[in-house]
Amino acid sequence: MNPTSGQTPSDHLRSNMNRRGFVASLAALGATAALPGVAEASETKSPAAGSSVLFRDKSALRMAVLRDEMTRQLTTFNLKQKSKTIPVRRGKRVTIGEVKGEGHITQFWMTFPGWFWQHWNPKAPINQSILKTLVLRIYFDGAERPSVATPVGDFFGAGLCEIASFASLYFGTSSGGFFCKWPMPFRKSFRVEVENLDAEIDTDVFCNVLYQLAPLPEGVGYFHAQFNTGFNQGPDPVQIAEAKGRGHYAGCQLYMQGEERNYLSFLEAPEYVYVDDDWETPRFTGTGLEDYFLGGWYFREGTLAGPYHGVPIKDTLNANVAMYRVHETDAIHFKKRLKFAFVNPWSPGRLKPFCFSSAAFLYLDHPEGQGPAIPSAKELMCWYRIRNTDHQSIP
């Protein structure tokens, strides 16, 4: 597919782009910590008092700010053929589209069949594993390695191969759809790919990526998403993120499952955060894994979905927990490097095996991806058990 929506703005439009307006547009997304330098207040005069008044990014007027931007959308809909999707067959890696220009992605939405019973195709195979074996990659500015490389489920909130609808400010699973609103700047281009590693299921991807073309302000970083997964005997660290360069850590989604049912002691592990020269000893630690996600007592009161943190799934019987946290003003900044892991302080004899997967979100001063390569489909499917959560799907 070669979308016409990838055209760059005219020279006349680009020459009239207002950088202050672009800053306001990012602030309107609530991305004041996600992008360096965009939290500055814009100043205007109060007609009543005749004095200077600051309207900050969270003000009631942010939606009313007029901005010099060109809005475009990359989509799988083919206007000529009237087809909505791009097929992604087993074993295939497909480019959804590529855009040339300068600006930022403001919203990314997608969905696909395969993880639920299809009333229009009742003989189609069904396996919720495709939430893990369909992989999303996003490249910025011609980088060789993708800045974003995660299974679709882990990126949007369904890393346990189980759908539980929720909506945070930056991502969610929205009653059959998957969305994120992370600001994703690009200076020259961006490219979106999906790869189907599933052994049995062919799928068709619906995707809409809305972006704004406008000059970027100074100091804006590139969005990155790193994926980690694996089995853990109990005492080993749970690696979440590691990066080199200047940037900040903006949060993560984490999915965990105990081998034994009714086991949640993996939640005893606090975060260990290594920054710059504090590499042998963590710069700071927390008091527990659920504490990092702003819960307590193994998420005593059950599930919740907040704008910056939540627990979409807590299934104690099956030892399943899905968690997320976003850092805005509490972003973890680094100048040279960062390493983030959860480490359990209990003695090894008290701990039991579990498995996990995670997607960590960062902004870095370069577009080249640094996360681990996506493992094989067999390694992706680390879960001891997958609960069937299909729903009635006839309209």
What average pLDDT does this structure show over 222-241?
97
More confident residue, 125 or 40: 125
What average pLDDT does this structure show over 203-214?
98
What average pLDDT does this structure show over 33-40?
38
Rounded CA gap, 251 and 103, in Å?
A: 23
Name which of 252, 192, 220 is nearest 39 in CA terms: 220
Look up the CATH number of domain 4-8+10-380: 2.60.120.1390
Residue 14: phi and psi, rounded to 5, are -60, -35
The pLDDT value recorded for residue 389 is 82
The pLDDT value recorded for residue 60 is 79
pLDDT value at 204 more than 90 = yes
What b/e sequence results for 284-318 when a residue is b if at least 16 CB atoms lie within 10 Å of its CB, and e otherwise? eebebbbebbebeebbeeeeebeebbbbbbbbeeb
What average pLDDT does this structure show over 24-39?
39
The pLDDT value recorded for residue 391 is 78
Q: What's the pTM value of the predicted model, to 2 decimals? A: 0.86
Q: What percent of the chain has pLDDT over 70?
A: 84
Name which of 312, 298, 289 is nearest 262 in CA terms: 298
The pLDDT value recorded for residue 225 is 98
Average pLDDT of the residues of the chain? 88
